Amino acid sequence: MIRKRYQLVALAAAGALVIVSCGSDEKSSDTTTAAAVTTAAPTATTTAETSGESTETTTADTTAESTGDTTESSTEATEETTEATEAETTVATDAPADAWTVDTDSCSDPEAAEAPIEGTLKIGSAQPLSGTPAVAFAPVKDGFELYLKYANDNGLLEGITLESSIKDDQYDATQTPGVVDSLIDDGVNIFAGIIGTPNNLAVRDTLNEECIPQLLNLTGAPDWGNDVASYPWTTGALVPYDIEARIYATTLQGLIGDGGTVGMFTVNSEFGKTYADAFKAAAEEAGLEIVAEQTIEPAETAPPTNQVGALAAEKPDAIMAVPLGAQCPTFLKELVNAKAANAGWEPVVFQTNTCASRLLISLLAADSGNGVYTSTNLIDPVDPANAANPGVKTLVDAYTAAGLKGDLATTAVGWTVAEDTVTILKKAQESGTLSRKSIIEAARNLTFTPSLALPGVEYKMNGEDDGYSFQSLQVEQWDQAANLFTYIGTPDTSSES
C-alpha cells in the first residue's frame, strides 16, 4: 500500500516536471526576442561611422576628476573629433590617451586581467536552451555561433580563433551562477549575450570581482549603463527600457493628441515596474492622462480577462502593454475580445518590443496583433525589401548554408551580438595587447554602425559618460496581412548621449 502511494506521488511529481518542461510558463522572458537588439555589421561595413555626429566629448582626464572639481574636469575634457575617415579595417576610436580606462587593482587577480590572450579566445554565455523560454530564444544561440564561424572563416581577427561555449540556464537566474562558474573554470575569456535581467544580475558581482568582461547583456534593464564606476566590466546590448517607454509616450502624443487617455497593462515584476514608472513620467511630460492601470503576475498563464475588461471599462484612447513572453499574445487576444464587446472602442495599442518577435505578435496571437505598435532598431531580415541589403544578404547566406530553421529575425539578434563582440575584440587587438582589460576598454570607447542597424542607429559607448551601447529605436506597426512591420517615422535618436 505504501509502495503504491509512493509510486503515485513520484509519478505525479515527475509528470509535473514534464508538463513544466512542455507548457507552463513559470518564467517567461523579459528580454527582447527578435526585435530590440541592434548589433554590429560584418566587418566589411564596420567602418568608423561617427560622422553622423562629428564631435564627441571624451572622458576627462581621470586625474582631473580625482581633484573633485567636476567643472574643471569637463572643461579639460578634450573635444575630439572622431571622423569616419579611418581606413575600412579600423573602427572609430577615441584617442587612446584620453580614453576611459579600467582600474584592475580591485580585481581578485589583476595580472590575469591584463594577461595577453593568444591563439584561441573563448566566449561564454548562458542562455535558455531548454524549457519554455527556449522556444523564443533558441535562435539567438544559432545566430551567435553563425557569426563567429563567419568571423573565423573570414579571418576577421588576425591570429585569433574564436570559440563559443553557450550553456543552458533555462532562463532560471538560480542556475546562471553555476553555468558561469563552470565556464570560467573552462577558461572562458569573456562573456557576451547572457539573456535575462535577473540572470545577468546574478553573475554581475562575480564577473566584476574577477574582472571578466560581461559584454552585451541581452536585456534592457537600465542597470547595465547607469553605474559604470561600480560595474565597469558589465555592458548591455538593448536599448534601456526607460528610453523605450519615453519614445512610446512621445509617439503616442502625436497619435492621440494632448490630453489623450492611456490605460496601462504591465507585468508585476521589476521589469514591468521600471517600465511603468518610466512611462508614467514620460506620459505626464507629454500631456497624456493615465486613466487605468492593470497588472499581471509574471508566472500567470491564464488570459488576463479581468484586467482587460477593467481597461475596456475606462475606454482609454490608447493602451500601453508590457506583458511577459507568452502573456503578449494572450493579452492581444483578450483585447480583441474586449473590443468586440465594446463596439466603437478602437484604442491605439503599444506593446513593449520584448513582445515584438513574429512568434509572439503573429504566430501565437493569430490576427490580434494587427495594428499594434512596437519598436526595433534592427533591419528586418525577413522583409523581402531588405533582401539586397549587404548585411542581410551575408546573414541570410550564412543562415541558409548552415541549414538553420529558427526565426530569422531572432537569429539576427544573436548574429548582431556576435558582430558587436567581434568588433570590440578587433578594436582591443588594435590597441596593442588583446587582454580582458583591453577588451572592456575597447567596448566602452567605441562607436560603430552594425551591419543590420537601421539608419541612424549605432553602437556608441564613451567611458562613464555614456554607459549604454544603443539608445535609438524605430517605432513600427505590425501589418498582419503583409506579415511585416511598417515603420512609423524615422528612428528616434534623441536619447543618444
Partner 1 sequence: MPTTPPRTIREASPLHWAIRAAGVAAIAFVAIYLASTAKPSTLGDITEACTLAIAAVGLNLLFGFNGQISIGHSTFAGLAAFTAGYTVNSWEWNPYVSLAVGLVLCFLLGLALGLPALRLKGPYLALVTLAVAFVWPTVAAKFLDQKVKASTLKGTKLEPLTWTGLTVKGKDSRLDKAIFLYWAAIVILVIAYVIVRNLRKSRIGRALVAVRDNETAAAVMGVNLKLTKTVTFGISAAIAGASGWITAARLATMDETTFTILSSIKYLLALFLGGAATLVGPIVGAFAYFFLDDYLKDHAPGWDWLPGPLSKGPVASFLLGVLVIAFVFVAPFGVVGFVKDQVRKVFVIAPRPLRPRATTAEQAMHTEDPGPTTDGPEQGES
Which position among 121, 134, 157, 318 is part of the footprint of partner 1 (CB under 8 A)? Answer: 134
Output b/e per residue, 377-410; b: 16+ Cβ within 10 A.
Answer: bbbbbbeeeeeebebbebbbebbeeeebebbbbb
Span 99-118, contacts to partner 1 by CB under 8 A: 108-109
* Burial status of residue 270 (CB atoms within 10 A of its CB: 0-12, 13-18, 19 or more): middle
Which of 31, 35, 28, 130 lies closest to 413 in space, CA to CA? 35
| Site membership for partner 1, residue 10 (CB under 8 A) | yes
Judged by CB under 8 A, does residue 475 bind partner 1?
Answer: no
10 Å Cβ neighbour count for 50? 24
75 binds partner 1 (CB under 8 A): no
Does 187 contact partner 1 by CB under 8 A? Answer: no
- Out of 42, 124, 128, 414, the residue judged to bind partner 1 by CB under 8 A: 128
Closer of 11 and 341 to partner 1 (Cβ): 11
User: Grid coordinates representing 352?
Assistant: 513593449
CB of 471 to partner 1, least distance (A): 24
Q: Look at the chain and count its residues.
A: 497
Nearer residue to partner 1 within complex by CB, 163 or 479: 163
Compute the CA torsion angle 326, 328, 334, 340 (nearest 10 deg). -140
Among 65, 114, 163, 270, binds partner 1 (CB under 8 A): 270
CA distance 40 to 417: 7
DSSP 162: E
Q: Can you read off the three cell numbers belonging to residue 443?
A: 567596448
Stretch that binds partner 1, among 174-182, 231-239, 283-291, 448-456 (CB under 8 A): 174-182
**C-alpha triplet 25, 28, 30: angle, nearest 5°:** 170
Smaller CB distance to partner 1: residue 3 or 229? 3
Calpha distance 477→180 (Å, rounded): 38
Complex with partner 1: residue 65 or 168, whichever CB lies closer: 168
The burial of 182, by beta-carbon neighbours within 10 Å (0-12 exposed, 13-18 middle, 19 or more buried), is given as middle
Q: HSE (CB half, 13 Å, CA atoms) of 475?
A: 22
Binding residue (CB under 8 A) for partner 1 from 182, 342, 370, 495: 182
CA distance 472 to 467: 14
Which sign, positive or negative, has the C-alpha torsion 125, 131, 133, 138? positive
For residue 170, state whether it binds partner 1 (rule: CB under 8 A).
yes
Which residue among 44, 77, 115, 184 contacts partner 1 (CB under 8 A)? Answer: 184
Task: Tell me how far, at minimum, the Cβ of 268 lies from partner 1, in Å.
Answer: 6
Q: Is 206 in the site for partner 1 (CB under 8 A)?
A: yes
- For the bound state, the minimum distance from the C-beta of residue 112 to partner 1, rounded and expressed in Å, comes to 9
Asked if residue 226 binds partner 1 (CB under 8 A), the reply is: no
Residue 15 interacts with partner 1 (CB under 8 A)? yes
14 in contact with partner 1 (CB under 8 A): yes
Work out which of 44, 84, 290, 299 binds partner 1, going by CB under 8 A.
Answer: 299
Chain positions contacting partner 1, by CB under 8 A: 2-3, 6-7, 9-11, 13-18, 20-23, 26-27, 108-109, 128-132, 134-135, 138, 167-168, 170, 173-174, 177-178, 181-185, 198, 201-206, 209-210, 268-270, 273, 297-299, 405-406
